[in-house]
């Protein structure tokens, strides 16, 4: 009996142990994996953010530039150490940039809610400016270019906006600008249109269908759309030599720029007409409130543009054209990527002159102490034609011309100061601060594989100053560019720049 009992207990224990082992070996049910799904609502490259009904697309580019015969990226040698054309000027300048774009979209009962941001990380080589204050001190100091620093770099926020129910809030392209802005067929900076730089704004766009839209916008004028409000009474010889005709006397913001745009964007191309109103708000005549100030004056800008696509010369060939006129709103022509003062040196054959100099300045208005603002007029155009030789090669030609014109009262203010301060040899009769700025160039690009492009671009820039031929001015020592105190012949100048670029889009 004891033996039977022992066998039964042993068998039961074995079954329980075996059952326990089998239970432990059973797989635990795993949580379902949520795969990223393609979002086909808004085009290629969008995916649903897991667990949401929001679609996201990531993109951007990495770019490397090398420029010959300039000290800045995209621009000619128009001022500072670049315009000095001496041992402080760069023979080459380089830039590397990583760009990241984040686009999200969500379908709602009120329409699509969209956010878009474009962020950049940029490093640009700088240059060395003169640091001496006397003829015996020949030292130099490193000067960072825009978006650069030694062993560092700079973060840029190009776009950061929300779109909902026809409204745009945040940093987006100005409603004044065209899709190509100053780049009708090029990378070099051209005048003759509003600039590319996005701007903070509140905008409503009415969509009438078939590519016809009308937009109305209030946009920030501070960073992008103000040039100079010159108090000519505060002009100095050193400033005039750089193209600055007085102290830049801009006050705080009072009103945003008001912009309206009508656009037709269809398969054949694009037509656009834009208008902007710009408030010129100066600070004080002197160092404090008791010195008084000029009253505000509103300026304006108008622009028309045309793009023609797929012209008979080849598939994908394009012509882009823009024309603009401004009065008291010069940055809608000479945009924020261009300098607002110019000082370019060259050789001379004039007896008694050390070198030649072409200088000029762009302003929204000028005034003297005790008087009101005199608005500055500008006008210009730019255009470009791109031809595709095959899917891998394309070539473009481009050009731009822009003019700065001061009225007679403004010329009286400026010329009285120029003659008295820098001893203009031709006197009032030979004084004219008006000038023209022009660029012509060509670009060729090779795309050996999709989204990888190598570019060579050659641009020739011309500064056409209007002071009397053979005139000269006497300037003080300019230690920052190592120019001596001497007489300089006033003469037209030019600059030739070569851009080499490699860019990978993703």
- Residue pair 344/495 in contact (Cβ under 8 Å)? The answer is yes
C-alpha pair distances (Å), 369 with each of 91, 235, 287, 493: 42, 12, 12, 33
Q: What does the DSSP 8-state code read for residue 483?
A: B
* CA nearest to 437, candidates 336, 328, 362: 362
Find the helix or strand (DSSP H, E) in which 260 lies. Answer: strand 257-266
For residue 336, the model assigns a pLDDT of 93
Output the CA angle 389-74-248, nearest 5 degrees. 145
Q: In this model, does residue 375 exceed pLDDT 50?
A: yes
d(CA 214, CA 211): 10
Note if the pTM is more than 0.75: yes
DSSP character at residue 291: G
Q: How confident is the model at residue 266 (pLDDT cuts 50, 70, 90)?
A: very high
Q: Helix or strand or coil: residue 24?
A: helix
**CA angle, 74 as apex, 68 and 75 as ends, to 5°?**
80
For residue range 64-95, list pLDDT tens digits in order.
Answer: 999 999 988 888 999 999 999 999 999 999 99
Contacts (Cβ under 8 Å, ≥6 apart) of 2:
none
Per-residue pLDDT tens digits for 488-499? 999 999 999 999
| Bridging pattern class, strands 212-219 and 199-207 | antiparallel
Phi (first) and psi of residue 44, to 5 degrees: -65, 145
How many Cβ atoms sit within 10 Å of the Cβ of residue 496? Answer: 14
Q: What does DSSP say about strands 47-48 and 111-124: parallel, antiparallel, or unpaired?
A: unpaired
List pLDDT tens digits, range 8-23. Answer: 334 444 433 444 444 4
Both tokens of residue 360?
């000029």
- pLDDT exceeds 70 at position 4: no
Taking the CA atoms of 408, 410, 415 and 420 in sequence, report the sign of the dihedral they define.
positive
Q: Rounded CA gap, 270 and 102, in Å?
A: 27
Euclidean distance between CA atoms 449 and 76, whole angstroms:
31
**Token pair 């926020």 is at which residue?**
157
Residue-wise pLDDT tens digits, 55-69: 999 999 999 999 999
Written as six digits, the tokens of 38 are 């393609």
């Amino acid at each position: 009996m004891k033996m039977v009992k022992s066998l039964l207990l042993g068998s039961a224990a074995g079954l329980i142990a075996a059952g326990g082992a089998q239970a432990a070996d059973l797989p635990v049910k795993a949580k379902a994996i949520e795969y990223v799904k393609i979002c086909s609502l808004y085009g290629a490259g969008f995916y649903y953010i897991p667990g949401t009904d929001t679609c996201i697309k990531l993109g951007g580019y990495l770019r490397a530039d090398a420029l010959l015969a300039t000290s800045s990226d995209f621009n000619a040698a128009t001022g500072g150490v670049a315009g000095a054309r001496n041992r402080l000027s760069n023979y080459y300048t380089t830039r590397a940039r990583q760009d990241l774009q984040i686009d999200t979209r969500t379908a709602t009962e009120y329409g699509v809610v969209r956010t878009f941001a474009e962020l950049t990380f940029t490093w640009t080589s700088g240059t060395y400016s003169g640091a001496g204050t006397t003829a015996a001190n020949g030292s130099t100091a490193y000067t960072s270019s825009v978006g650069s620093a030694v062993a560092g770099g700079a973060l840029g926020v190009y776009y950061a906006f929300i779109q909902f129910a026809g409204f745009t809030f945040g940093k987006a392209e100005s409603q004044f600008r065209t899709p190509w802005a100053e780049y009708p067929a090029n990378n070099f900076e051209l005048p003759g249109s509003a600039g590319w730089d996005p701007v903070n704004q509140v905008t409503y766009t009415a969509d009438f269908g078939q590519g016809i839209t009308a937009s109305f916008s209030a946009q920030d004028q501070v960073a992008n759309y103000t040039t100079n409000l010159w108090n000519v009474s505060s002009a100095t010889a050193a400033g005039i030599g750089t193209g600055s005709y007085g102290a830049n006397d801009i006050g705080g913001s009072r009103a945003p720029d008001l912009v309206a745009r009508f656009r037709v964007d269809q398969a054949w191309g694009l037509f656009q007409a834009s208008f902007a109103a710009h408030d010129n708000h100066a600070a004080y005549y002197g160092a404090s409130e008791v010195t008084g100030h000029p009253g505000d004056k509103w300026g304006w800008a108008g622009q028309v543009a045309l793009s023609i696509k797929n012209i008979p010369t080849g598939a994908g060939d394009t012509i882009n054209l823009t024309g603009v006129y401004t009065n008291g709103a010069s940055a809608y022509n000479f945009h924020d990527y261009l300098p607002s003062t110019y000082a370019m040196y060259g050789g001379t054959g004039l007896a008694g002159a050390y070198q030649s100099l072409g200088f000029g300045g762009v302003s929204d208005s000028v005034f003297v102490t005790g008087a009101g603002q005199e608005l500055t007029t500008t006008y210009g155009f730019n255009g470009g034609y791109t031809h595709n030789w095959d899917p891998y090669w394309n070539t473009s030609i481009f050009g731009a011309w822009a003019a700065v014109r001061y009225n007679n009262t403004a010329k009286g203010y400026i010329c009285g100061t120029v003659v008295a301060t820098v001893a203009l040899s031709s006197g009032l009769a030979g004084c004219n601060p008006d000038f023209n700025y022009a660029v012509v160039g060509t670009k060729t690009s090779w795309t050996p594989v999709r989204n990888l492009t190598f570019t060579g671009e050659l641009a020739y820039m011309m500064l056409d100053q209007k002071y009397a031929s053979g005139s000269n001015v006497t300037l003080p020592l300019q230690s920052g560019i190592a120019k001596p105190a001497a007489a300089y012949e006033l003469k037209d100048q030019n600059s030739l720049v070569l851009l080499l670029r490699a860019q990978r889009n993703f």
